Amino acid sequence: MVLYTNSMTKMLITGGAGFIGGNFVHYTRKHYPNYQLTVIDKLTYAGNTRTLEPVMDKIEFVQGDICDRELIDKLVSETDIVVHFAAESHNDNSLRNPWPFVETNIIGTYTILEAVRKYNKRLHHISTDEVFGDLELDDPNRFTETTSYNPSSPYSSTKAGSDHLVRAWVRSFGIQATISNCSNNYGPYQHIEKFIPRQITNILSDIKPKLYGTGEQVRDWIHVDDHNSAVHLILEKGVIGDTYIIGADNDHVNNKQVIEMICELMGKGKDFYEHVNDRPGHDMRYAMNSSKLRNELGWQPQYTDNDGMKNGLLATIDWYTNNRDWWQAEKMAVEKKYAEQGQ
């Protein structure tokens, strides 16, 4: 087994042209430049090679499906570490058509696990807080590594299934794997159908931001760079077989407050938005207790509390403002789709 190092180590990143995976590629190139990176992505609607353009000459890119056993077998055999981001991840899409979520999140993860087992490679599996279900708005508790799973959508249930597969392969076959469950990410390169970039690009497109229902839903928002710094720390210091919660302690801010913050940061009145139909089965509150990651591994997020989140949002607003060519061509189609759903 090759231990974690930033020198002469080969890393395979699945879903590396997506939002979090793409940012992980950029973060790794910036902070761990000696890594040899191979990225595999199917390039579905959420994957975009333009996300990787600034580093494309410094990585190997493979367009492919993680369900392709022969391809995954080959790629895993040639690497030292696999960081598994690839997933179908949009709740609304999972309600309309669950099958791609079953295929990618369950079968794709199984395919990776079998290759990792065959070649005895290190694996880190990226998961979500949504596997835990949600909390009541007045519940003071936060999710921990021992919280029972209670997924509420095809997306979250298939991610829960993938987590269980990883744990089963650790226990049954002794694979070298860790898992992290992270709260909602925001930052550069996020698809504009997602909550925060949708509101930012709406204002940039002279469209009023849209708030689901009353906006009381709470998400423990974390900047993607904070998430990816935690993943590298888990790779370096994490205990094999363990799970780590990643959260930035921003669970005191609800969606209404987030959209108001965006409006004000972009020079609009705090009420410059309109309410739209709520999403079916919309989880109310996510809150993450990342004390294990902080106390055992020494992790500390940069964009935490109100001031930190404002700084993270400002950086994100600046990125979408300065990179219109990355998102503008898709904007009208995305808004048309939402309008058809009353959202």
Q: Which residues does the annotation mark as catalytic?
A: 129-130, 155
User: Which tokens go with 241?
Assistant: 């077989």
Could you give the dihedral angle defined by the CA atoms of residues 243, 102, 84 and 129, in that order, rounded to the nearest 10 degrees? Answer: -40
Burial code of 45-58, b = ≥16 C-beta within 10 A, e = fewer? ebbbeebbeebeee
Place of tokens 């990651």: 293
Element (H, E) at 154: helix 154-173
Place of tokens 């999972």: 94
Cα 47-103-120 angle, rounded to 5 deg: 85
Task: Give the whole-angstrom CA distance, residue 264 versus residue 261.
Answer: 5
Q: What residues contact 243, with CB distance under 8 A and at least 6 apart?
A: 145, 163, 167, 178, 179, 180, 181
The number of helices, as runs of H, and strands, as runs of E, in the chain is 12, 11
The separation between the first and the last C-alpha atoms of the chain, rounded to the nearest angstrom, is 49
DSSP state for residue 288 in the 8-state scheme: B
Whether the CB-CB separation of 240 and 176 falls below 8 Å is answered with yes
Nearest by Cα to 114 from 66, 43, 63: 66
User: Which tokens go with 8?
Assistant: 């002469």
Backbone angles phi, psi at 252, to 5 degrees: -95, 0
